[in-house]
C-alpha cells in the first residue's frame, strides 16, 4: 500500500543517485519518514504534508549529497526536523553526524527519532549555533537552512577544524554573490545535484576553511 509505494520510490531514487543501500537502511529511511509525518501533525516540523512529496523534497534531496561528503565528524546546523542529518546518519554509519537546533519542539522530535531508529552515530544538541562549544572540532559543517553563505561561515567557523569543509545546500538561484565571502575561506567546488523527481535546481557548495 502506501508504505510499499514509498519504499519502491525510495529505492528507485537511491538507484538514480547511484547510492547503494542495505535493506535495513531503506527500512530506517522509511521509518524516519513515517515518524516525520506523524509528529508533523502536532509539532509542525515542515510545511510539506504529503509523504510522497516529503520523500522527494526531504529524503532524496538530503541523500543527493551522500556521494560528495568526506570526513568523519560532521554537524548539521539548523537541522530542523533532522534534514539532511538523519538521512546522512542512516546512510553513513561510520561517520558521526550531530544535529544542532535551537527549537525545543524540533529537538524533542530529533531525540525521539534517534531513539526509535537506534542511531548511535549522532547526538542531538539543543543550543544556538553561536553558543555551542564542541569538545572536539568537526571535519565538516553542513546545512540547507542558512539564509546566506556569509551567515553560515560567520556563525559556524568556531565549530570547524582548520582545512575543514562547509557544505551548503541551496537552490541554484539561492546563491548570492560569492565574491563577497569573508576572508579565511576558499570556494573549492560548486556541485550540481540532480535530485530524482525534484523539479528544481539544487547545488552543493563546498567551501574550505583556510588560514591562507
Residue range 167-184: average pLDDT?
Answer: 70
pLDDT of residue 179 exceeding 60: no
Q: Residue 171: its pLDDT value, please?
A: 80
Express as a percent the part of the chain with pLDDT over 70. 94
Residue range 124-132: average pLDDT?
Answer: 97
Q: Residue 173: its pLDDT value, please?
A: 58
37-90 per-position pLDDT tens digit: 999 999 989 999 999 999 999 999 999 999 999 999 999 999 999 999 999 999
Q: Residue 157: its pLDDT value, please?
A: 94
Of residues 151 and 142, which shows the higher confidence score? 142
pLDDT of residue 115 exceeding 70: yes
> What phi, psi does 17 have (nearest 5°)?
-85, 0
Dist. CA 189–CA 172, nearest whole Å: 14
Structural domains of the chain, with CATH: 2-209 (3.40.50.150)
Q: How confident is the model at residue 137 (pLDDT cuts 50, 70, 90)?
A: very high
Residue 7, all three cell numbers: 519504499
Dist. CA 71–CA 86, nearest whole Å: 17
Q: Residue 170: its pLDDT value, please?
A: 86
SS3 86: helix
Q: Residue 105: its pLDDT value, please?
A: 95
Instruction: Quote the pTM value.
Output: 0.94
Q: How confident is the model at residue 150 (pLDDT cuts 50, 70, 90)?
A: confident
Residue 128, all three cell numbers: 544556538
12-40 per-position pLDDT tens digit: 999 999 999 999 999 999 999 999 999 99
Q: Residue 174: its pLDDT value, please?
A: 54
Dist. CA 136–CA 155, nearest whole Å: 17
- How big is the CA angle at 135 (ends 132 and 136), to the nearest 5 degrees? 105
First to last CA, the chain: 56
Residue range 193-210: average pLDDT?
Answer: 91
Partners of residue 185 on adjacent β-strands: 209
Q: How many other β-carbons are positioned within 10 Å of the β-carbon of residue 118? A: 7
Amino acid at each position: 500500500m502506501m508504505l510499499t509505494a514509498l519504499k519502491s520510490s525510495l529505492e528507485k531514487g537511491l538507484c538514480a543517485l547511484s547510492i547503494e543501500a542495505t535493506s535495513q537502511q531503506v527500512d530506517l529511511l522509511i521509518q524516519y519518514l513515517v515518524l516525520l509525518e506523524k509528529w508533523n501533525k502536532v509539532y509542525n516540523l515542515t510545511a510539506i504534508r504529503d509523504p510522497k512529496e516529503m520523500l522527494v523534497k526531504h529524503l532524496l534531496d538530503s541523500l543527493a549529497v551522500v556521494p560528495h561528503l568526506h570526513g568523519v565528524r560532521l554537524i548539521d546546523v539548523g537541522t530542523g526536523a533532522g534534514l539532511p542529518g538523519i538521512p546522512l546518519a542512516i546512510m553513513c554509519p561510520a561517520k558521526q553526524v550531530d544535529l544542532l537546533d535551537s527549537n525545543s519542539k524540533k529537538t524533542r522530535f530529533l531525540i525521539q527519532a534517534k531513539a526509535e531508529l537506534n542511531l548511535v552515530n549522532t547526538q542531538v544538541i539543543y543550543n544556538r549555533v553561536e553558543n555551542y562549544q564542541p569538545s572536539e572540532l568537526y571535519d565538516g559543517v553542513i546545512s540547507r537552512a542558512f539564509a546566506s553563505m556569509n551567515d553560515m561561515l560567520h556563525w559556524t567557523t568556531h565549530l570547524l577544524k582548520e582545512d575543514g569543509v562547509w557544505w551548503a545546500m541551496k537552490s541554484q538561484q539561492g546563491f548570492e554573490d560569492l565574491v563577497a565571502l569573508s576572508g579565511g575561506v576558499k570556494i573549492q567546488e560548486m556541485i550540481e545535484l540532480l535530485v530524482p523527481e525534484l523539479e528544481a535546481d539544487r547545488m552543493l557548495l563546498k567551501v574550505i576553511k583556510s588560514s591562507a
